[in-house]
């Protein structure tokens, strides 16, 4: 149906503002022209689409770069308090998912890297400044159904936890956010359904699965603009508890705070998906099962953010 079209996310479209490209909406098996370039869509009309369960819209492929520019402007406007915080949070959340979808392509060039970096700084600012931002983002994204959604949620949760703690400088925070967004990029190479419970995978599949942090580092290692710190965090994101993770079976004391945050938010979002629980409901059962494997203060901070 939409082979010739480029899929975009509804929440990234801003109401009452000119949109520099034509929009199409899916009706059954067809794409229907929705608005013309330079038209504005009223906020209520966008809400109406959302209420009908529409999550995606479509644009012509030649408009892709105009859309990416439009996203940049939208992210810069996250601090605009005249727009409801829920709408800004939904925009931030969907923009992160789009970034996770396009991560490999974005990182082809240093320009792409820098633009992604600015986006993460803006989103970090938004989460740090407004208490309601992270809740709105989690609400908008819902349960992680695929790796891109998962990466976006791990990224926003990592930013939220780190912003609550003292001692994180902007650069450290952005590197953590970047690593969180990219942490599972190595999974793209897996040729089997890795979303099944780990115990159900064959021995060979488990071995391949455990390679995904290293595969991710391998994919990114040739890019000089990606810092060793980001690569290190990706390599270590499956380490947790006292030697329970992989590949190095590290103990907690061998992992600095940023490593622990990434490990914690990664496990937590996975827990929500597997148990089919919203983050707000998952915190207590997660705490019961995992309190022994993480720093109490970190889990406590995560709980504070969610309640
Ligand atoms: Fe992972
Ligand atoms: Fe993950």
Distance of CA 96 to the CA centre of its chain: 5
- Which ligand is nearest to the Cα of residue 239, counting in written order? 1
Q: Burial, 10: exposed, middle or buried (Cβ in 10 Å; 0-12, 13-18, 19+)?
A: middle
Query: Which pLDDT score is estimated for 307?
Result: 87
Residues 135 and 255 in one domain: yes
In a domain, 48, yes or no: yes
Residues 127 and 40 in one domain: no
Domain boundary among 10, 31, 64: 64
Residues 96 and 52 in one domain: no
Domain boundary among 30, 64, 98: 64
What's the gap in Å between 280 CA and the centre of ligand 1? Answer: 22
Residues 169 and 42 in one domain: no
In a domain, 78, yes or no: no
For 272-295, the pLDDT digits (tens) are 999 999 999 999 999 999 999 999
Q: How far apart are the first and last CA of the chain?
A: 42
Residues 60 and 95 in one domain: no
What's the gap in Å between 237 CA and the centre of ligand 2? Answer: 8
- Which ligand is nearest to the Cα of residue 265, counting in written order? 2
Rounded CA gap, 274 and 12, in Å? 27
- Which ligand is nearest to the Cα of residue 147, counting in written order? 2
Residues 90 and 59 in one domain: no
What's the gap in Å between 295 CA and the centre of ligand 1? Answer: 20
Query: Which pLDDT score is estimated for 3?
Result: 63
What's the gap in Å between 91 CA and the centre of ligand 1? Answer: 25
Helix/strand/coil for 25: strand
In a domain, 172, yes or no: yes
Bridge partners (DSSP) of residue 177 are: none
What is the chain's alpha carbon radius of gyration, rounded to the nearest angstrom? 19
In a domain, 79, yes or no: no
Residues 145 and 286 in one domain: yes
- Which ligand is nearest to the Cα of residue 216, counting in written order? 1
Helix/strand/coil for 113: helix
Strands (E) located in the chain: 6-9, 23-27, 30-35, 56-59
Range of the domain at 40: 1-64
Query: Which pLDDT score is estimated for 188?
Result: 86
For 195-217, the pLDDT digits (tens) are 888 889 999 999 999 999 999 99
In a domain, 74, yes or no: no
Residue ranges near ligand 2 (ion) with Cβ within 5 Å: 184, 266
Residues 57 and 112 in one domain: no
Rounded CA gap, 298 and 260, in Å? 8
Query: Which pLDDT score is estimated for 1?
Result: 53
Residues 145 and 8 in one domain: no
What's the gap in Å between 270 CA and the centre of ligand 1? Answer: 9
Contact 15, 41 (CB under 8 A): yes
Contact 99, 116 (CB under 8 A): yes
Strand-by-strand arrangement of the 56-59 sheet = 6-9, 56-59, 23-27, 30-35
Q: What is the tally of structural domains in the chain?
A: 2
In a domain, 77, yes or no: no
Tokens coding 25: 């909406």
Query: Which pLDDT score is estimated for 116?
Result: 93
The CATH number of the domain where 245 resides is what? 1.10.3210.10
Bridge partners (DSSP) of residue 3 are: none
Bridge partners (DSSP) of residue 6 are: 59
Residues of the chain under the 50 pLDDT cut: none
What's the gap in Å between 64 CA and the centre of ligand 1? Answer: 29
DSSP string, 200-246: GS-HHHHHHHHTHHHHHHHHHTT-TTS-HHHHHHHHTTT--TTTTSS
Residues 257 and 186 in one domain: yes
In a domain, 106, yes or no: yes
In a domain, 73, yes or no: no
* C-alpha distances out from residue 287 to 7, 73, 164, 299, Å: 38, 39, 19, 7
Domain boundary among 64, 93, 117: 64
Percent of the chain whose pLDDT exceeds 70: 99
What's the gap in Å between 238 CA and the centre of ligand 1? Answer: 6
Residues 230 and 262 in one domain: yes
Residues 98 and 32 in one domain: no
């Amino acid at each position: 149906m939409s082979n010739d079209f480029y899929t975009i996310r509804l929440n990234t479209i801003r109401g009452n503002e000119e949109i520099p490209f034509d929009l199409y909406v899916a009706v059954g098996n067809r794409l229907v022209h929705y608005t013309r370039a330079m038209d504005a869509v009223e906020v209520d009309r966008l809400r109406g689409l959302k209420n009908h369960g529409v999550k995606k819209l479509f644009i012509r492929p030649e408009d892709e770069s105009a859309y990416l520019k439009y996203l940049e402007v939208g992210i810069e406007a996250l601090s605009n308090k005249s727009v409801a915080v829920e709408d800004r949070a939904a925009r931030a959340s969907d923009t992160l998912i789009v970034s996770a979808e396009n991560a490999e392509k974005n990182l082809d060039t240093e320009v792409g890297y820098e633009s992604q970096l600015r986006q993460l700084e803006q989103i970090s600012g938004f989460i740090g400044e407004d208490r309601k931002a992270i809740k709105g983002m989690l609400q908008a994204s819902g349960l992680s159904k695929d790796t891109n959604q998962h990466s976006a949620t791990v990224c926003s949760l990592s930013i939220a936890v780190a912003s609550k703690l003292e001692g994180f400088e902007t650069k450290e925070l952005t590197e953590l956010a970047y690593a969180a967004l990219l942490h599972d990029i190595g999974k793209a190479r897996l040729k089997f359904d890795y979303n099944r419970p780990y115990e159900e995978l064959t021995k060979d599949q488990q071995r391949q699965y455990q390679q995904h942090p290293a595969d991710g580092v391998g994919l990114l290692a040739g890019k000089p603009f990606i810092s060793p710190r980001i690569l290190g965090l990706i390599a270590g994101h499956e380490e947790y508890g006292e030697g329970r993770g992989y590949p190095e079976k590290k103990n907690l004391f061998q992992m600095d705070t940023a490593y622990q945050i990434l490990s914690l938010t990664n496990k937590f979002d996975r827990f929500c998906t597997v148990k089919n629980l919203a983050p707000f409901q998952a915190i207590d059962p997660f705490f019961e099962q995992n309190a022994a494997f993480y720093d109490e203060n970190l889990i406590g901070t995560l709980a504070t953010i969610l309640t």
